[in-house]
Amino acid sequence: MKAKKDGSDVRIRTKGNFNQTLAPMLFLLPNMIIFLLFIIIPLFQGLRMAFMDWGIFVEPQFIGLENFKDLFHDEVFLITVKNTIVYSFLTVVLLTVVSLCLALMLSRNSMKGERVFRAVFYIPSLLSMIAVGIAWRFILGDELGIINYVIRSITGGPGVQWLTNGTLAMMCVIIVSVWASSGYYMIMFISGLQAIPGELYEAARIDGSSAWSTFWRITLPLLKSTVLVVLVLATIASFKAYELIVTMTKGGPGYATKFIVQQVYQVAFQEDRMGYASAMSMILMLIIGIFTLVQFKVAGKDGQYD
């Protein structure tokens, strides 16, 4: 809250009093209209649809928990849930570790070219996930990809089925996701690291503590709120992943890399079962909510997000 003393007399004396109440409302109005029309109302609409039988050519009809009951026997949906959670968990963990390591190496101010490296690692974050998927599909292709070309010329044997073996395909999608976004989170970590007072490191050095214990005793505890932000943002981002697999694997082979969002899109817009797909969306939102809350509870005792 702002100090009230100078604000309040000005308010009494100026005849702008009315304007000052109205102005913020008007400034907020366009934003609130957009939020209301395109987030809040759709959110409630989606909730409602999850309990209905709804398609473009079907008369909408309230069916209670029917959709949710069906979901628990829907094998494809359950596979996409499992895939999404596995993908998100591994991606977030790897992403956090990799971007933190990059940040630690690039925020020591003791090496020439730190800025150049930062820019280089950031470049993949500029690409659309559609382009990322295309690039890696080109590189990982079974017959014609450069990686298999190199493997074949060294070993003389056959190439690796990067994108046609289910487990490998999932692994590739995860690694490519880490490749694509670690630069972004690296920048966040760098700014967090720079906010840690240098005297603390100086004191640790005088006490003769090793780099390892300095990291665990000083760096990590003071970086807690940045870690939390990175975890939350990366988790949300990974649960909504969709574009990458559109161009990289198309969800395949089979259902190996199919995520909830892709299934929702297909059921809603290609099979025209919008109520049922809305129920899936609500489950997705629930999962995102649970993961976010858990992170706040575990890591966020004193980290704030406001």
Partner 1 sequence: MTNVNSRKVTNNIFLVILIVLAVLSLFPVLWVALSSFKPQSELFRVPMTFLPERWTLENYASAVSQGNFVRYFLNTVFVACTSTVLSVLVNIMAGYALAKYIFPGRNIIFGIMIATLMVPLQVIMIPIFIQLRNLGLLNNLWGIIIPPAATPTGIFLARQYMVNLSNSMIESARIDGAKELRIFVQLILPLSQPIIATITIFSFMWRWNDYLWPLIVITDNDLMTMQQALANFVGQLQINWSNLLAMTTISIIPVMVVFFAFQRFFMTGITAGSVKG
Residues between 284 and 303 that touch partner 1 (CB under 8 A): 284-285, 288-289, 292, 303
- Asked if residues 299 and 231 have their Cβ atoms less than 8 Å apart, the reply is yes
Closer Cβ to partner 1, 137 or 258, answer by number: 137
Kindly tell me which residue out of 67, 226, 238, 295 binds partner 1, with binding defined by CB under 8 A: 226
CA angle 85/88/89 to nearest 5° reads 80
- Which range, of 89-97, 196-204, 212-220, 283-291, touches partner 1 by CB under 8 A? 283-291
- Distances in Å between the alpha carbon of 47 and those of 40, 165, 266? 11, 37, 19
User: Which residue is listed with tokens 């999962």?
Assistant: 287
| Residue 124 touching partner 1 (CB under 8 A) | yes
CA atoms within 13 A on the CB side of 95: 32
Stretch that binds partner 1, among 73-81, 86-94, 141-149, 213-221 (CB under 8 A): 141-149
Contact in structure between 60 and 54 (CB atoms under 8 Å) = yes
Stretch that binds partner 1, among 38-46, 87-95, 196-204, 212-220 (CB under 8 A): 38-46
C-alpha span between 278 and 300 (Å, rounded): 31
Contact pick of 92, 170, 204, 277 for partner 1 (by CB under 8 A)? 277
Counting contacts by CB under 8 A, is residue 61 touching partner 1? no
* Nearest CA-CA partner of 294 in 85, 142, 115: 85
Q: Which is nearer to partner 1, 86 or 126 (CB)?
A: 126
Site for partner 1 in 152-191 (CB under 8 A): 153, 179, 183-184, 187-191
Residues 6 or more apart in contact with residue 94 via CB below 8 angstroms: 174, 175, 178
Chain centroid to CA 82: 17
Q: Which stretch binds partner 1 (CB under 8 A): 36-44, 64-72, 75-83, 165-173?
A: 36-44
Our finding on whether 117 is near partner 1 (CB under 8 A) is yes
- Single out the residue of 1, 12, 154, 206 in contact with partner 1 (rule: CB under 8 A): 1
